[in-house]
Structure 1
């Protein structure tokens, strides 16, 4: 009898743990780690983002019934309508909305009429307080995609070791102290399918086109073939740098 009672109590306790609301809560910042991992293999950046996106980061506050996400071009605000059986329904103005569900340390976004199924993970490193939406994804991407040392094998500063930092700063690349990778939006639509990087020095900069194949990267001048009254249209010009990952 005692054994049966103990088993019964254990079943109740286990059942309570399984239904613990904390296990279903989706509050926090979630990043598209799958896109980052794909890019880190050395493939074209836009290829990795398009294959695993389009959304890059979610920021969710269930207590405030607020959820927002970014696709690298625009930030979208949503309202949490409620949760049922671990699925949280998000209402987004002008769209069919989203459904989010937590699976351990992973967030799953269900497919809808506009987007495929996507997965998100908790970032490994926190961003500074007050950082804008998308900063967690950007820092993780920069670290995985361009982290480590890159040796300039051809071009200005040949022999230098270039360090692209997660915060967008760069050392060792002549004429640049900051950089930003194009993730989506106008910079992508104007590049003719090419990956672009913004390089600047003392807050003055320009877009450049780059290619990444494994441990090799080339950076080209971005030539604008559009007329003065047209939307810019960039194509690769003269190669400025050839870099090799160390």
Structure 2
């Protein structure tokens, strides 16, 4: 009886030890699901990204000692240092550092002088092999923010159904077969705080300003108010479409 009890306790102890490394493992792709969930409620996209960003996705390989992230504008590569008490430090080649810690199913990035604390979830969205970093976040965002059917309530194609696909394809919107949402960078700085998207057909396209309010999506022409030798500065022009979520 005593031997059986000792063996049971030993098995329990070893099992607990074996599970700990897995519980702390941070390898894989993690996305800023909190920002996606906030945007999916129908608020302006930039408002959600600024509130819960700026980082959108982490890609981590603990065996290779590699960690990288994207904020939608730049992709940053770092060196993953050893774990200490469940905390992993990422060194960006002497310029700065980040601390990451897994808390159950989430990955926390500690606050620093430059960035607030941020939380990430393991991606559940499959992406094609060789897809660039940020593709997992982008697909998850597109599905949550614009997924499902939209009826053209006003504008060309009125009455038709528009479908924005997670891979950037769009159907039912006259003159467009692909789209991309502006997440950060030059496209954001040129739009004066407005949300904007890129619409194209057969590889040729233009920037458009949009406004999402609940189940309504307005798409406006982007009017460039800058001089020819200046960086473009877009402001909303005539409304082209009003879409309503089905």
Q: Distance in 1 between matches of 2:234 and 2:125?
A: 35
The alpha carbon displacement at 1:244 in A equals 0.2
- 1:181-219 residue CA offsets vs partner (Å, 9 max, x unmatched): 000000000000000010000100000000000000100
- 1:102-136 residue CA offsets vs partner (Å, 9 max, x unmatched): 12221111111111111111111210101000000
C-alpha contact (below 8 Å) 1:96/1:112 kept by paired residues = no
Q: Distance in 2 between matches of 1:79 and 1:184?
A: 24
Q: Distance in 2 between matches of 1:100 and 1:22?
A: 15
Q: Distance in 1 between matches of 2:71 and 2:128?
A: 21
- 1:50-92 residue CA offsets vs partner (Å, 9 max, x unmatched): 0000000000001110100000000000001211111111001
Equivalence map 1:97-116=2 (5 Å): 97-116=97-116
The alpha carbon displacement at 1:8 in A equals 4.6
3-state SS in 1 of match to 2:162: strand
TM-score by length of 1: 0.95
3-state SS in 1 of match to 2:137: helix
Q: Which residue of 2 aligns with 1:79?
A: 79
The alpha carbon displacement at 1:101 in A equals 1.1
Is 1:57 paired with 2:57? yes
Q: Distance in 2 between matches of 1:83 and 1:57?
A: 20
Q: Distance in 2 between matches of 1:159 and 1:95?
A: 54
Unaligned runs of 5+ in 1: none
Q: Which residue of 1 aligns with 2:148?
A: 148
Q: Which residue of 1 aligns with 2:236?
A: 236
The alpha carbon displacement at 1:96 in A equals 2.6
C-alpha contact (below 8 Å) 1:96/1:113 kept by paired residues = no
3-state SS in 1 of match to 2:142: helix
C-alpha contact (below 8 Å) 1:32/1:137 kept by paired residues = yes
Q: Distance in 2 between matches of 1:124 and 1:231?
A: 38
Q: Which residue of 1 aligns with 2:13?
A: 12
Q: Distance in 2 between matches of 1:167 and 1:99?
A: 32
Q: Distance in 2 between matches of 1:228 and 1:212?
A: 30
3-state SS in 2 of match to 1:180: strand
The alpha carbon displacement at 1:6 in A equals 5.6
Q: Which residue of 1 aligns with 2:45?
A: 45
Unaligned runs of 5+ in 2: none
Equivalence map 1:1-246=2 (5 Å): 2=2, 5=6, 8-9=9-10, 12-13=13-14, 15-17=16-18, 20-93=20-93, 95-246=95-246
Q: Distance in 1 between matches of 2:234 and 2:99?
A: 38
C-alpha contact (below 8 Å) 1:42/1:212 kept by paired residues = yes
Q: Distance in 2 between matches of 1:94 and 1:209?
A: 39
3-state SS in 2 of match to 1:187: helix
The alpha carbon displacement at 1:4 in A equals 6.6
Number of aligned residue pairs: 245
The alpha carbon displacement at 1:13 in A equals 3.1
